[in-house]
A and B are shown apart, each in its own frame.
Chain A
Amino acid sequence: MVEDHDFKVGVLSCNGIGRLVSTVVRRAGYKIKELRPDQVVLLSSGRLAVRETEHMRLLEKYPLLVIDGCRPHCATFMANELGKKPSASIYVADVMAENKINVAGEKRRGLTQKGHKLVDAVAEKAVSEIDRIIADEMLSTI
């Protein structure tokens, strides 16, 4: 029954520190949660890297959206390492190109309006994927 199901999506963003995009991705994660508070579980890459029990349970329970900030695709790597196939993946460079956003001059320690434009674009793309994943889950269940 639909009522027994808990339709949510786990969101794993890389949440790094080295690059400007780390800050974009981190802020996008919070924005995604704000936009879909009851449909999203934000997963901590730190806790998953060390296989913390509760986070592993959440990873296993819900379909996964990964958000990668830069070329090593660390969030995707982590999902693969933990044996979880993402239902969707977002690479921030793709979002930046699609939306023609320029972040030159932005700083990783704090974003200006330009950087937040990219945050919003990533969050919007993520929410679109989340809605699709949940629709797919729902229609495959009821």
Chain B
Amino acid sequence: MADKVCLQPCLGLRKESILCRQAFYVVHEDLRPDQTVLGCGPALNADVQEDIDFIEMYPVMAMEACDLDCATNLVAKKGKQAARTIRVPELAAELGIEVDALPEEHIDTEHPAVQAMAKRIAEFVDQMLSA
């Protein structure tokens, strides 16, 4: 059984991407520091060994800002399959987050939307590690 989950964000430019990256910081730094690693898309694409190791060693949770599924497809490009793909718009809707109302360019990690999303992602991490 894996002891960590690789959090792989899509790292696009949209608000949904920013929400995801900020939530991942909260999950990795505050909520589940010993149970997660942060996967960096550009580094994975560039075959940086640490990022290759992350997707090899740990189940990947890909988080997508839209239905292009860039993070999931990038992991597949490197020969692995994401164990779980989550779409930010769907999760935001489930949590009652109005993405349009969020600030542009940067969302503070203390923002209720980031905190709510991080809490939910932490639950997904727990599910993946207990599977």
Task: Answer yes or no: do A and B interact.
Answer: yes
Question: Which residues in A have some Cβ–Cβ distance to B below 8 Å?
Answer: 14-18, 22, 27, 29-30, 42, 44-47, 49-50, 52, 72-75, 77-78, 81, 108-110
Minimum Cβ distance to chain B for residue A140 (Å): 29
Highest count of chain A CB atoms <10 Å: which of B13, B48, B106, B108: B13
Between A and B, 25 residue pairs with Cβ closer than 8 Å are: A15-B41, A16-B40, A16-B41, A16-B42, A16-B43, A17-B9, A17-B11, A17-B24, A18-B38, A29-B13, A42-B13, A46-B11, A46-B74, A47-B70, A49-B70, A50-B74, A50-B77, A72-B43, A72-B48, A74-B40, A74-B46, A78-B46, A109-B25, A110-B106, A110-B108
Q: Are A44 and B12 in contact (CB under 8 A)?
A: yes
- B13-49 residues with Cβ-Cβ distance < 8 A to A are 13, 17, 21-22, 24-26, 29, 38-43, 45-46, 48
Our pick among B13, B26, B42, B48 for the contact of A78 (Cβ within 8 Å) is: B42
Whole-angstrom CA separation of A46 from B109 in the bound complex = 22
Q: Are B74 and A74 in contact (CB under 8 A)?
A: no
Whole-angstrom CA separation of A52 from B48 in the bound complex = 22
A-B contact count (CB 8 A): 89
Interface residue tally on B, bucketed by range: 20 to 34
If A17-B9, A17-B24, A18-B38 touch, does A78 touch B45 (CB 8 Å cutoff)?
Answer: yes
Our pick among B48, B77, B108 for the contact of A49 (Cβ within 8 Å) is: B77
The 8 A CB mask of B45-72 against A (1 = contact, 0 = none) is 1101000000000000000000010110
Q: Which residues of B contact A81 (CB under 8 A)?
A: 45
Q: Which residues of B contact A45 (CB under 8 A)?
A: 11, 41-42, 45
Whole-angstrom CA separation of A14 from B39 in the bound complex = 14
If A18-B40, A18-B43 touch, does A27 touch B106 (CB 8 Å cutoff)?
Answer: yes
Q: Which residues of B contact A27 (CB under 8 A)?
A: 105-106
Minimum Cβ distance to chain A for residue B68 (Å): 6
Our pick among A16, A47, A72, A73 for the contact of B12 (Cβ within 8 Å) is: A47
Whole-angstrom CA separation of A29 from B17 in the bound complex = 14
Minimum Cβ distance to chain A for residue B91 (Å): 18
